[in-house]
């Protein structure tokens, strides 16, 4: 970690465990709905460190960045992946933060592997939405033991910028066409259905759509098949900053099909096999041992 930029900015006393345990009730809610909002799991010190890192990343323009084309006066929607390869603060989040234990608890996993991290920033007045989708069509994997943790680093209002989820949609067994905010055709598998915009009242009228007001340190956790989307950022003053980090458990198969994201390194396994590659997808947490990089 010391070879990464900003290594000296990583405070040594940041807690490595969640601010509260993940309860059996939390796990039941996650398994029923495919999404849960866990309150106050990261301390203010964690949030401030990552917020500063996020703002610096956006200003730098470095990395694997994706931004929609926006007209004048329409804000900015910035997204970048693998920040942990460039900044020790994000590497600390990946390896030695509360995130792996949260993921392990919700997946009931004995071992957790890091997949990738992704930064999302929507400036005030940003018109660009996050199109409705589920994550698995983007990823070269199959299985249920993948999880996304979306950590709020600024206040989030469900009325102006919150992520919305369709409760129970992870149990539909459906994969919708992957659509990025900039509508990159490389991800659009024309054989898949387009996901309805549940935020606009499309799809099943009986669908239960969940969203939350959030404070820094709250964490949204969702299953890879849970359908979700978001509007732009209608706030005139509040930037919405979140960092999402993805982990793998046991029930995962390598599936390098077309129209999926490119990893920084593909696992050295055959299609259909568990991706047991400690370089491409390093183990960061084991039951009975906890974090392996703390």
Residue identified by tokens 């960045």 is: 65
Q: Give the model's pLDDT for residue 73.
A: 65
Q: Give the model's pLDDT for residue 2.
A: 43
pLDDT at 1 over 50: no
Which architecture does CATH list for 21-250? Sandwich (2.60)
pLDDT over 70, % of the chain: 95
Average pLDDT for 22-32: 98
Give the DSSP letter of residue 42. Answer: S
pLDDT tens-digit map of 111-136: 999 999 999 999 998 888 889 999 99
pLDDT tens-digit map of 97-115: 999 999 999 999 999 999 9
| Biggest distance spanned by C-alpha atoms of the chain | 53
Q: Give the model's pLDDT for residue 11.
A: 61
Q: What does the alpha-carbon distance between residue 133 and residue 224 come to, in Å, rounded to a whole number?
A: 10
The pTM (predicted TM-score) of the whole model is: 0.93
pLDDT tens-digit map of 156-174: 999 988 999 999 999 999 9
Check: CB of residue 135 under 8 Å from CB of residue 245: no
Q: Where are the domains of the chain?
A: 21-250
Q: What does the alpha-carbon distance between residue 146 and residue 205 come to, in Å, rounded to a whole number?
A: 28
């Amino acid at each position: 970690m010391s070879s990464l930029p900003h290594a000296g900015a990583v405070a040594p006393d940041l807690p490595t465990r969640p601010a509260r345990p993940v309860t059996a009730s939390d796990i039941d809610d996650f398994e029923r709905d495919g999404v849960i909002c866990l309150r106050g799991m990261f301390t203010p010190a964690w949030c401030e460190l990552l917020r500063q890192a996020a703002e610096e990343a956006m200003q730098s323009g470095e990395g694997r960045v994706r931004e929609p084309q926006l007209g004048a006066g329409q804000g900015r929607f910035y997204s970048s992946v693998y920040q942990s390869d460039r900044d020790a603060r994000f590497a600390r989040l990946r390896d030695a933060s509360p995130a792996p234990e949260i993921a392990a608890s919700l997946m009931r996993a004995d071992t957790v592997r890091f997949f990738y991290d992704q930064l999302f920033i929507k400036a005030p007045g940003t018109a660009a939405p996050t199109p409705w989708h589920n994550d698995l069509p983007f990823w070269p994997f199959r299985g249920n033991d993948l999880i996304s943790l979306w950590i709020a680093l600024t206040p989030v209002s469900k009325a102006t910028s919150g992520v919305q989820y369709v409760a129970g949609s992870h149990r539909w067994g459906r994969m919708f066409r992957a659509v990025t905010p900039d509508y990159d055709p490389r991800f659009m598998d024309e054989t898949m259905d387009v996901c309805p915009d549940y935020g606009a009242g499309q799809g099943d009228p009986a669908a239960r759509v969940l969203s939350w007001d959030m404070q820094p340190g709250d964490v949204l956790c969702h299953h890879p098949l849970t359908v979700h989307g978001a509007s732009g950022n209608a706030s005139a003053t509040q930037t919405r900053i979140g960092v999402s980090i993805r982990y793998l458990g046991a029930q995962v198969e390598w599936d390098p099909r077309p129209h999926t994201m490119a990893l920084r390194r593909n696992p050295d396994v055959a299609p259909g096999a568990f991706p047991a590659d400690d370089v491409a997808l390093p183990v960061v947490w084991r039951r009975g041992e906890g974090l392996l990089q703390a």
